[in-house]
Copies of this chain bind each other. A is one copy, B any other.
Amino acid sequence: MTIEYDSGSCKYKNWIVEEKKFKLENQAKYETIFSLGNGYMGSRGTLEESYPNEKPGFYVAGIFDQFPGEVTEMPNLPDWIKTEIFIDNNKVDLTKDKIHQYSRRLNLKDGLLIREFLWENKEGHKVKFYFERFISMSNLHSALSKIELEAVNFSGEIKIIYGYNARTSNSGTQHLKEGMKRLIDNNLIYEPETQQSTLKLCFALNCEISSQRENIKAEESILSERRQLKRIIKFNLLQNKKVNISKYFSVYSQRDQDLDNIDGLQDIVLSNLKNNKKRGYEDCKLKHVKKWRSIWDEIDIKISGSNFDQLAIRFALFHLIQMTPVHDNRISIAAKGLSGEDYKGHVFWDTEIFMLPFFIYNYPQIAKTLLKYRYNTLKGARKKAKRNGYQGAMYAWESARSGQETTPEYGRIDIETGEEIEILSGKLQHHITVDVQYMVAEYYRLTKDFDFMKDYGFEIFFESSRFWASRLEYNKKKNRYEINNIMGPDEYKKHINNNAFTNHMVQWQFDKALEYVKKLKEDYRKHFEFLKSKINLDEKEIIDWQDKSKKLYIPQINTDNIIPQYEGFFDLKEIDLKKYRNSPIDTIFNDLSWEQINKTKVCKQADVVMLIFLLRNKFTEDIIKSNFAYYEPITLHDSSLSPGIHALVASYIGEVNKAYSLFKRASRIDLGENMKSSNKGLHAASLGVLWQAIVFGFAGINYMEDKLYIEPSLPDRWEKVSFNIVLRNNKYKIGITNNKIIIEVLKLNNQIPFIINDREYEIKEKIIINY
């Protein structure tokens, strides 16, 4: 096994992901899946030593910068993790030295990244190494690590070089001015500043050496080069005397909301560092671990029957928590979280459609914070609409700080033309401006948080309706509205007309907006008037939405019950897709150009399946079945968003085996043994959808009309799955076996009726129901 999934035991069973053998070619994968973060900052799991082709990555959420000629992105900040170790003047290098008992493991339960090995050089000198690292969940500005060294059969000289390397970049793009370097009381201080957005950051770093020997006499010196500030420490390692090197790192940025004043950045960061040092490494770690334990108490999903599935959902939830900036509603979750620079730290529909449900059902407060980001970026969305000749708010396909469109304009070279391919998502994937609304409505439906709607949600909705009202194109001949020249979720199809997903969702959005208008008019007249005047909304516009919703053309099913992905989809060329169905992502591009793919009956992900997933109640089970059967075989799942959604829809129609096989595919996107799949960062959406596939899919949780339906269909292998859900201030623990549903009330606020086997239950404490 390249990745060991089974190495946790006892209380760590199914909590450990392990690398048992160091291989250079696997490092990019491990850097990603072993990334650490706390929502404020995130760091890729690069090793202390330097190796070829590694990709150190360190990010602070919400820091964005724009390099000339590029779009704004999340800068890769200076590396502070690297720590070169020399034993008797020879650099420790896993590719060259003899390494015994190697193990690197991510401990999901405690949020620790651990590495240990026994090092041996040519002379037979042996040193035991133990590394530990965490980014504190209990103190957002702190990250700590330690190295323990023990010379087994000799005494020798150790040299450690640690510090900052600000030569890191986003694949060559440098976002940081070199910044000030200083040494204050043995603390390495570094103050870089983003070059265009001129945001100052301040880093502090300190290393403490202690030993079983009372006093360790270390010789220290400093090394300052261009964009580098390092400290060299030399000391003697005596045989069998363990030495402990604790590293304390703190970071603040100018845009932190917990800052009193910007000028004191250096004082604040130093005071944070000093507090941590005073507390000591072990105590800081304890607080961090405790925080993780309390998070797991809330969110853990327990699966019996498959160790891998158990580990996989924990892996997913662990990273979801690590990447979410819960402290700041001016930013949201990036497509790769804080685990890599790919997609530039931008926020996509991934956050709402794929990740938000997990938060709504676990931490509704966090879900609200994430949705507020969309409210806070309305200004940018209005600008985008205006720039494109539309009204209202048109959300950015890729969104950063301001909410303006930040999708890059060009991508890779087309094999046919030799020219760079235009990236059209920013221009054509308008559906983002209904995906956001969909999840605003879901949040409201599931939380009844009217205050949120009053202050943020309705405005988001009405501005979206306005956008769509201006976006629709009237077809006089057919007396209908159309949405032409668009792109649905399936990015293999560009410049299409009347995309089923988009048109359906837009109609849904008009209707939902009108429903809200009705409610506001009836019950909150005064607030409605306030809102209307705030965004200058006219009654005529509302009448217009009604008309447009009615006359919006909805692509109709054909005689086989199939909804066309868009007008003309059925006429596309059919080719044998076997070759591409289970091959690495984008293999089809080796044979076909973009133009050819556009004309072929093949989906990167199936729009209609996505549509069914979101508007399930709009379609009969028959239609769902036919369409899944039609679209699944022509879908390559070349998007990581795809398999999880297909798993969910398969669950809906009772195809448990298919659902489980797609779930397995989804759960392996990052955690699986394809060592190239995740080099550039985690697939955050696919992690989020795993939670949905379990809770909505296999467990069959379905909240409709203020009642909670449970219709489980567990995979054969699973004996039991259990998890907590939070619903309208109630908290339930739900356990499901292959014939029983166990519901336990953890917190009761306002009774929610449960519907199981068509029977309604009022649950006050605990209940076990056969199904």
Contacts and interface: CB of A to CB of B under 8 A. Distances in A.
B167 A169 contact: yes
A171 B167 contact: yes
B174 A168 contact: no
A420 B229 CA distance: 11
Nearest to A68: B195
Interface string A150-182: 000000000000000011111111100111111
B181 A413 contact: yes
B181 A173 contact: no
Given A182-B418, A182-B420, A174 B174 contact: yes
A543 interface: no
Contacts of A170: 226
A170 B222 CA distance: 22
Nearest to A194: B68
Interface in A650-684: none
A756 to B, nearest CB: 52
A183 B224 contact: no
Given A171-B225, A172-B227, A184 B418 contact: yes
A260 B499 CA distance: 51
A412 B182 contact: no
A236 interface: no
Contacts of A172: 166-169, 174, 226-227
B221 A415 contact: yes
Nearest to A189: B418
A68 B177 contact: yes
A172 B229 CA distance: 13
Contact of A173 (B70, B193, B227, B419): B227
Nearest to A166: B172
Interface string A213-229: 00000000110111101
A420 B224 contact: yes
Contact of A52 (B50, B174, B222, B418): B50
B226 A69 contact: no
Contacts of A179: 69
Contacts of A177: 67-70
A9 interface: no
A51 interface: yes
**Tally of this chain's copies:** 2
B182 A225 contact: no
A472 to B, nearest CB: 36
Contact of A174 (B169, B180, B226): B169
Contacts of A174: 67, 169, 172-174
Contact of A69 (B173, B195, B411, B415): B195
Interface in A590-612: 590
Nearest to A344: B226
A208 B53 CA distance: 28
A224 B408 CA distance: 15
Contacts of A222: 413, 415
Given A51-B52, A68-B195, A221-B590, A183 B418 contact: yes
Interface string A553-595: 0000000000000000000000000000000000000100000
A419 B182 contact: yes
A19 B193 CA distance: 42
B225 A412 contact: yes
A85 to B, nearest CB: 16
Interface in A191-249: 193, 195-196, 221-222, 224-227, 229
Contacts of A420: 180-182, 224
Nearest to A185: B418
A694 to B, nearest CB: 35
A216 to B, nearest CB: 21
Nearest to A413: B224
Interface in A411-427: 411-413, 415, 418-420
A55 to B, nearest CB: 11
Nearest to A177: B69
Interface string A97-119: 00000000000000000000000
Interface in A383-415: 411-413, 415
A172 B226 CA distance: 8
A243 B514 CA distance: 73
A503 B100 CA distance: 68
A67 B167 CA distance: 14
Contacts of A166: 172
Interface in A465-514: none
A51 B183 CA distance: 32
Contacts of A193: 69
Contacts of A184: 418
A418 B222 CA distance: 9
Interface string A666-709: 00000000000000000000000000000000000000000000
Interface in A494-537: none
A481 to B, nearest CB: 39
Interface centre among A172, A227, A590, by most chain B C-beta atoms within 10 angstroms, is: A172
A50 B50 CA distance: 15
A412 to B, nearest CB: 4
A419 B188 CA distance: 11
A535 to B, nearest CB: 38
A160 B173 CA distance: 26
A640 B51 CA distance: 33
Interface centre among A70, A173, A181, A182, by most chain B C-beta atoms within 10 angstroms, is: A173
A193 B68 CA distance: 10
A304 B500 CA distance: 87
A417 to B, nearest CB: 8
Contacts of A225: 171, 412
Given A50-B52, A52-B50, A182-B418, A412 B224 contact: yes
Nearest to A170: B226
Contacts of A229: 413
10 contacts: A52-B52, A67-B174, A167-B172, A181-B413, A182-B418, A183-B413, A183-B419, A222-B415, A224-B413, A225-B412
Interface of A: 50-53, 67-70, 166-174, 177-184, 193, 195-196, 221-222, 224-227, 229, 411-413, 415, 418-420, 590
In the A-B complex, list the 8 residue pairs whose CB atoms are closest, starting with the nearest. A167-B172, A183-B418, A69-B177, A174-B174, A224-B413, A224-B412, A172-B227, A68-B195
Given A67-B177, A169-B172, 4 more contacts: A173-B178, A180-B420, A222-B413, A225-B412
